[in-house]
Structure 1
Amino acid sequence: MANQQQQVVVVGAGVIGLLTAFNLASQGRAVILLERSAVGQESSWAGGGIVSPLYPWRYSPAVTALAHWSQDFYPQLGERLFAATGIDPEVHTTGLYWLDLDDEADALAWAAREGRPLSKVDVSAAHDAVPVLGSGFSQAIYMADVANVRNPRLVKSLKAALLALPGVTVHEQCAVKGFIQESGRVVGVNTALGPIHGDHVVLAAGAWSGELLGSLGLALPVEPVKGQMILYKCASDFLSSMVLAKGRYAIPRRDGHILIGSTLEHEGFDKTPTERALESLKASAVELIPALADAQVVGHWAGLRPGSPEGIPYIGKVPGFDGLWLNCGHYRNGLVLAPASCQLFVDLLLEREPIIDPTPYVPAGRI
């Protein structure tokens, strides 16, 4: 029962914080999860949920390693959460078409090297598979096994699964003000509810992680990067596959909702949706799928991604501050990388054999 006594405080209840807490609680650790607003309402809620980096061949092997492990794991995670909670995260395997890429040759070379099922297809085959696709494209590549997850439902399902485990406390509307230190060790956090102590403190606060770590005099290069999305509602069979061109994508949900995203804006912590982005996203939507010109936009929102150098997250101990850990800085790929990141994190905290080499993600030397 010694494990039961070890208490971990997790700061941030997005997908990374939720899954970190879930994995720890599943291993018998007592967990206190703290969230400044409501569980999963920031980047985790706002994203598109493609279970792949948008352009996987443009990333370092560090991101690729996490992505591949997560992609292979997502279907079973979805099934496990659905079985446990009755809330289906809707891991929906549709495949993905990339259209008119400048670096198509690089993509195909990457796929051959990594053994991923991505191949060049005639653009007419893309039109046959996706009849609503716009006519202005001349080349296409396709990866068959790419899924998307309905991220707002993933958040709900993870929260329900976490709360069903013993030894778990979740405090929403509970902003962390700073860290409590004793003898060179971080032993807790100061919050709106007062001090909360733990044997370990995990910072998984997304775009807010850099600000929090700054209170210790550390410069973590994680900054908010705004992204805006729009949503249409169509028939459930309207769009059969995800499509991506010129940095914009269309994602079909099972019920006919179509997500179009996204912008990349450096606007600090401002996440006000703008008319300019709305018009730009609508133009991209109609270019990808002309029939959307007659469809009504039923949603428009913005979120803040935790931007980081090369999109490589920080996973592991903070040097010089015993008891403090990071699992943050996933930039555009938090939902993609969450299962692997959170499994790797728990392997490190519990001193187990890690699922992949942890070296690229360690904070030492990077902050």
Structure 2
Amino acid sequence: MKQRTIVVGGGVIGLLSAYGLAAAGCSVLLCEASATGTEASWAGGGIVSPLFPWRYRGSISALAHWSQDYYPKLGEALKQQSGIDPEVHETGLYWLDLEDEDQALAWASHHCRQLHRVDMEQVHTAVPSLGDGFSSAVYMPGVANVRNPRLLQSLRAALAKLPNVTIVEHCPVSGFVREGTRIVGVHTARGEMRAEHVVVAAGAWSGNLLATLGLELPVKPMKGQMILFKCAEDFLPSMVLAKRRYAIPRRDGHILVGSTLEDVGFDKTTTEEALESLKATAIDLLPGLADAEVVKHWAGLRPASPEGIPYIGPVPEHDGLWLNCGHFRNGLVLAPASCQLLADLMLDRSPCIDPEPYAPAGRL
């Protein structure tokens, strides 16, 4: 058995980090403060693309493109291993009334990604449920959404079958065990746990954890609220995005509409104001939703970081401590590449993409 690693955090980044390390033969202990897969990863929409990919730096595109190409394979592997289908659902995505349409098309051309203008008549033919009042559209075929609660269940079930993985839930980590400059474990609600390596993948809570070492990690919570409708299975054949809000179809006719962006600390309370705003957006996009029932309304806390660039790699002057956190709005999108890169770095393999933009060195 290779080295023992503790992964702190049981969201998509923590679970997939554990999955990648375990597949390489490492012994992995995953610690989660509540139950796995119940925070931001569960609360997101699951679009396998940044909302506006051309507005991000190339470092985000690099992770996103690798992950987008990998997701169908990952979904199939997890379905086989766990018996739970993460539902990687290719629907394509329409952006409506973009103010930076030319920039979007130039970005797509530069990155060899399919994105093209579509006249509104074609859009209404393809998406009959779409409302009137939109004047322009661009479309990217092949964009998928993943049913994130199922992805998390599937990862959890796949990990549970591995003999070299232990998952400890309802076990908050309060700090680190140090020997000189080396991190050799964590302090938890169940006592001290030791390992050669510790990976912090605690999402919006990662900054609080690093503060116990006197390190300032600029990752903070940013609340997002979402609503869910139930419609006929063919009500919305593609994802649509307008005015920074989106509608995402699931295979069984559930439609997610999101989301807000609120800087309110660790408050996950849902508000009537957000509910009304999201319903108004939903009806504006898809008038048929006026008669549909909101079956769920929830909030999650995104791990906001400067420019949305995650921290992936070793922490300088703290041997044995690694980060995989700060993915902001793109945790699900970037997870496969982020976790592959982390495993590559930890196991001295050739990295899947250039690790330099995500290195914690110089950014803490």
Q: Does 1:177 align with 2:174?
A: yes
SS of residue matched to 2:67: helix
Q: Does 1:54 align with 2:51?
A: yes
Distance (Å, rounded) in 1 between the aligned partners of 2:246 and 2:130 = 12
Structure 1 residue 246: Cα displacement = 0.2
Q: Does 1:19 align with 2:16?
A: yes
Structure 1 residue 110: Cα displacement = 0.3
Distance (Å, rounded) in 2 between the aligned partners of 1:38 and 1:84 = 21
Distance (Å, rounded) in 1 between the aligned partners of 2:19 and 2:222 = 27
SS of residue matched to 1:212: helix
Alignment match, 1:133: 130
Alignment match, 1:35: 32
Q: Does 1:92 align with 2:89?
A: yes
Do 1:229 and 1:260's aligned partners in 2 also have CA atoms closer than 8 Å?
Answer: yes
Alignment match, 1:358: 355
Task: Describe the superposition over 1:218-246 as per-residue Cα deviations: whole angstroms up to 9, x where unpaired.
Answer: 00000000000000000111100000000
Distance (Å, rounded) in 2 between the aligned partners of 1:307 and 1:145 = 27
Distance (Å, rounded) in 2 between the aligned partners of 1:186 and 1:166 = 25
Matches within 5 A, 1:268-287: 268-287=265-284
How many residues are treated as equivalent by the alignment?
A: 364
Return the match for 1:324 from 302, 321, 324.
321
Matches within 5 A, 1:257-276: 257-276=254-273
Distance (Å, rounded) in 1 between the aligned partners of 2:44 and 2:36 = 15
Structure 1 residue 119: Cα displacement = 0.4
Distance (Å, rounded) in 2 between the aligned partners of 1:329 and 1:236 = 35
Distance (Å, rounded) in 2 between the aligned partners of 1:20 and 1:48 = 21
Alignment match, 1:112: 109
Alignment match, 1:142: 139
Task: Describe the superposition over 1:129-178 as per-residue Cα deviations: whole angstroms up to 9, x where unpaired.
Answer: 00000101000000001000000000000001111112111010000010
SS of residue matched to 2:25: coil
Distance (Å, rounded) in 2 between the aligned partners of 1:136 and 1:35 = 46
Distance (Å, rounded) in 2 between the aligned partners of 1:138 and 1:167 = 55
Do 1:43 and 1:303's aligned partners in 2 also have CA atoms closer than 8 Å?
Answer: yes
Structure 1 residue 184: Cα displacement = 1.1
Q: Does 1:121 align with 2:112?
A: no
Structure 1 residue 5: Cα displacement = 4.8
Structure 1 residue 183: Cα displacement = 1.8
Distance (Å, rounded) in 2 between the aligned partners of 1:103 and 1:220 = 32
Matches within 5 A, 1:129-278: 129-278=126-275
Alignment match, 2:75: 78
Alignment match, 1:298: 295
Do 1:314 and 1:329's aligned partners in 2 also have CA atoms closer than 8 Å?
Answer: yes
Alignment match, 1:315: 312
Q: Does 1:6 align with 2:13?
A: no
Distance (Å, rounded) in 1 between the aligned partners of 2:174 and 2:266 = 17
Distance (Å, rounded) in 2 between the aligned partners of 1:5 and 1:46 = 34
Structure 1 residue 85: Cα displacement = 1.1
Do 1:89 and 1:150's aligned partners in 2 also have CA atoms closer than 8 Å?
Answer: yes
TM-score (norm. length: structure 1): 0.99
SS of residue matched to 1:254: coil
Residue 222 of structure 1 aligns with an amino acid whose one-letter code is: V
CA 1:358–1:87 in 2, change beyond 3 Å: closer, same or farther?
same
> Unaligned regions of 5+ residues in structure 1, if any?
none
Do 1:25 and 1:166's aligned partners in 2 also have CA atoms closer than 8 Å?
Answer: no
Do 2:91 and 2:144's aligned partners in 1 also have CA atoms closer than 8 Å?
Answer: yes
Q: Does 1:288 align with 2:285?
A: yes
The alignment's C-alpha RMSD in Å is: 0.5
SS of residue matched to 1:299: strand
% identical aligned pairs: 69
Residue 190 of structure 1 aligns with an amino acid whose one-letter code is: H
